[in-house]
Structure 1
Amino acid sequence: MGVAASSALMPDIAEQIKKLGLPAAVESAVSLAAASAIGTAVEGGAGAVSAYNVDLNNRQASPPEIQKIKLLNCTEN
């Protein structure tokens, strides 16, 4: 349940976090903390861990992925 709630809410929350203009590492930490908080609120400790892992491994692009996206975007335009 915590994972489902986090997965449903985090895209909108991450969009708001991005508007804060934080450094990438801080933005990532804040997003992970938010996902964990949602998981905790819904399912306790197990929800926190699951939501953290889902956000870290599925929603957020890694730096190499971001670079690849930028490269592909530049070559398509």
Structure 2
Amino acid sequence: MQNLPTHTAKTELQLLVRGLVYAPGDASYESEAAAFNLATRHTPDLVPAAVNADDVVAAVKWASAPQHVHFRPVHGPRRRERHH
């Protein structure tokens, strides 16, 4: 698996969506990354600001591609498998 530099991944995703794509350090990144639950701070590598359903579909397809596995969010601790 090849890890893409964030700026390359950002450009790649931006070409697929109509809305802007934000990375840490960009203006509006914090507000775009904020969720409804303000008790939890989210810090994704990229935030596509979808303007329509097509943007959502394109962003999900992009993130689910094997080469982008490192951009997928991890929610909560990972479970360890039990060995019997």
When the two structures are superposed, what TM-score results if normalisation uses the length of structure 2? 0.28
- Pick the structure with more strand per residue: 2
Higher relative contact order (CA 8 A, sep 6+): 1
- Pick the structure with more helix per residue: 1
Larger radius of gyration between Structure 1 and Structure 2: 2
When the two structures are superposed, what TM-score results if normalisation uses the length of structure 1? 0.29
